[in-house]
Amino acid sequence: MEKRSVDSRVRGVSTGTTILAATFDGGVVIGSDSRASIGGEYVSSKTINKVVQVHDQIFCCMAGSLADAQAVTKAAKFHLSFHSVQMETPPLVIAAASVLQELCYNNKEELQAGFITAGWDRKKGPQVGAGRGDSHTGSRDTAVQSNSTYWRVAAVLIPCVPLQVYVVPLGGMLVGQPVTIGGSGSTYIYGYVDAKYKPNMSREECLQFATNALALAMGRDNVSGGVAHLVVITETGVEHVVVPGNKLPKFHNE
Amino acid sequence: MSSIGTGYDLSASTFSPDGRVFQVEYAMKAVENSSTAIAIRCKDGVVFGVEKLVLSKLYEQGSNKRIFNIDRHVGMAVAGLLADARSLSEVARDEASSFRSSYGHDIPLKHLSDRVAMYVHAYTLYSAVRPFGCSFILGSYDKDDGPQLYMVDPSGISHGYWGCAIGKAKQAAKTEIEKLQMKEMTCRELVKEVAKIIYIVHDEVKDKAFELELSWVGEVTNGRHQLIPEEVRQEAEKYAKDSLEEEDDSDEDNMRWHVSQRLHSTAPAAGESPTERGAFRDKPQGTMLSLQFNHGIV
């Protein structure tokens, strides 16, 4: 049913998505919108949570085909749980991102899912990483050029001490950055993120920054919307913040 | 402690009536016939020292190394059958490299040691294979977890240590190691002590020439396992030789010399039971390990 080739629109239920992760002083904020759509024409769910917990203090955001992303995170969750029992210590964020990377890269022909990993581990503290698992590379740029491409990247944001988020986009690359955005909606907020992100913000500043970014992306991207799911991860624990659609910040054009 | 296990020692898949697996014990004897290797963990690193006996003047210097590199941050010193040890070092390297590939970071030493120990243990379960005839010491340094030291023996058990010794003079070496306050020492101080211990336990009468192999991993090397640089080695050897000369003059040393002679003796002395180590060479049957006693042990 799904025609998985270059330039085709993602068929089946997919997440036209906006996901992001950003590190602040002492933790990481990872967040996403909540809309799932089919082919960009029908909203199949207004309230899915794309921020998935893969371990106690490690979360990932999924982008791309929802089915693929869920299958990958399920496998990663199992793998990480086994790994942490074997090592007798919670896994490092880089280990979680690497597990996702292996899954994305080795199955890149079949998968269309990318991740942002963020979390906290005792070695490096808060970190963020992004990874993409897909046979289509350079999706962000392609999305800008062609209206009908909805490349999504799931980013797994893992907060760690040297604030770093790991992004595993489609294709299975692994990159650590202080802030990262992904999904089709991310193209509309690159400017905002580049201009407004500052390293070592406070928790409130970072939450406000993330909420604003999600709101702006959801306002312009037709396949992102719903509520904003945010998770704040610090050394002491994890906190979920949900901002319903009508409470999102409004900007001048609304 | 050592006895002949008539009939129950033909394969590793047989227990004796008193609950021992003789093949594994014989494998440990192979280690005891080899020259000594020690490793000590201090507050900022781990130092390895090996007494590498030189059996022939025709050997190229530095050949048949007994300290291996497993990944960048782990060192491995071995005693026993060198060929067995080499194959285990490859196993350890594969484990470390596959971990790094799957998880993106250095393998923690405890995990590596558990994995290699599991592999060694697997060879003690079947009659179709023989146990590995070597013990080895793994050491590493990580800036978050600090220095670590583990030793694996032919039975497949691994323990963490502050200081350990394997090989023929391990008792004498352990005594020397226990005298050190290693938790307060740095690597540079410890190198000299390790060289000194190797020189002390080396038996001048039975084994003539030896090469001292020294290596370290710690803050001083930024977490990389390396052989000791030349100037540090010369300083350490000089310190070792000087302390040996001082001690030769003292009465206390004569006592120790006699003790170390007893420990190193492989021929049954008068009054010793024939079941001591040396007697295995005469046993014609059963002990698969007896054939290896004469080759490949360094």
Write a three-state SS string for A101-127.
Answer: HHHHHHCCCCCEEEEEEEEEECCCEEE
Count of all residues that appear for chain A in the document: 254
Confidence of residue A152 (pLDDT cuts 50, 70, 90): very low
Is B144 at the interface with chain A, CB within 8 A?
yes
Residues 6+ apart with CB under 8 A from B90: none
Other CB atoms within 10 A of residue B94 CB: 14
Q: Residue A36 and residue A39: Cα distance in Å, rounded?
A: 10
The CA-based diameter of chain B, rounded to the nearest angstrom, is 59
Do residues A247 and A235 lie in contact, with contact meaning Cβ atoms separated by under 8 Å?
Answer: no
Contacts with B115 from chain A: Cβ below 8 Å: none
Phi, psi of A196 (to 5 degrees): -100, -15
In this complex, do B102 and A98 lie within 8 Å of one another by their Cβ atoms? yes
* Structure confidence at residue A112 (pLDDT): 83
- Determine what percent of chain B is predicted with pLDDT higher than 70: 82
Buried-state track B160-178, b at ≥16 Cβ within 10 A, e below 16: ebbbbbbbbbbebbbbbbe
B105 touches chain A (CB under 8 A): yes
A99 and chain B in contact, CB less than 8 A: yes
**Pair A199, A23: CB distance under 8 Å:** yes
- What residues of chain A lie within 8 A of the CB of B102, using their CB? 98-99, 102
- Higher pLDDT, residue A72 or A113: A72
For the question of residue A137 being annotated catalytic, the response is no
- Comparing alpha-carbon positions, the chain B residue that sits nearest to A103 is B102
Residue A153 pLDDT:
30
Measured in degrees and rounded to the nearest 5, phi and psi for residue A17 equal -140, 155
Secondary structure (DSSP) of A12-37: SEEE---EEEEEETTEEEEEE---EE
CA distance A83 to chain B (A): 10
Contact call for A87 and B144, based on CB within 8 A: no
Amino acid at A70: Q
**B143 touching A (Cβ < 8 Å):** no
Instruction: Check pLDDT > 70 for residue A78.
Output: yes
- Contacts of residue B281, defined as CB under 8 A and 6 or more positions apart, other chains included, come to B290, B293, B294
Work out the mean pLDDT of chain B and round it to a whole number. Answer: 85
| Mean pLDDT along residues B134-148 | 94
pLDDT tens for B246-273 read 877 665 555 655 555 555 554 444 444 4
Name the pLDDT band for B275 (thresholds 50, 70, 90).
very low
Taking only residues 83 to 102 of chain B, the set having a beta carbon closer than 8 angstroms to any beta carbon of chain A reads 102
Burial (CB count <10 Å: 0-12, 13-18, 19+), residue A195: exposed
Query: Comparing B264 with B6, which gets the higher pLDDT?
Result: B6
Strand order of the sheet with strand A238-243?
A179-182, A19-24, A27-32, A228-234, A238-243
Q: What's chain B's length in residues?
A: 298
3-state secondary structure of A196: helix
Alpha-carbon gap, residue A142 to A169, rounded angstroms: 14
Interface test with B, best of A94, A98, A173 (most B CBs within 10 A): A98
Judged by CB atoms closer than 8 Å, whether chains meet at A97 and B108 is answered as: no
A94 near B CB under 8 A: yes
Structural contact between residues B245 and B199, judged by C-beta atoms closer than 8 angstroms: no
Name the pLDDT band for A109 (thresholds 50, 70, 90). confident
**In this predicted structure, what is the pLDDT of residue A38?**
84
Interface A–B counts its CB contacts (< 8 A) at 26
Q: Could you give the C-alpha distances from B26 to A96, A133, B145, B283, in angstroms and in order?
A: 44, 52, 36, 13
| Alpha carbons A62 and A15: distance in angstroms, whole number | 8
A interface test, pick of B73, B100, B101, B103 with most A CB neighbours within 10 Å: B103
Beta strands A112-121; A156-157: pairing state: parallel
User: In the 8-state DSSP scheme, what is residue B245?
Assistant: H
Do B103 and A94 count as a contact with CB atoms less than 8 A apart? Answer: yes
pLDDT band at A229 (very low <50, low <70, confident <90, very high): very high
Question: Helix count (H) and strand count (E) of chain A?
Answer: 5, 15
State whether residue A86 sits within 8 Å of chain B by CB.
yes
How many angstroms from the chain centroid is the CA of residue B128?
26
Chain A residues whose CB is inside 8 A of the B103 CB are 83, 91-92, 94-95, 98-99
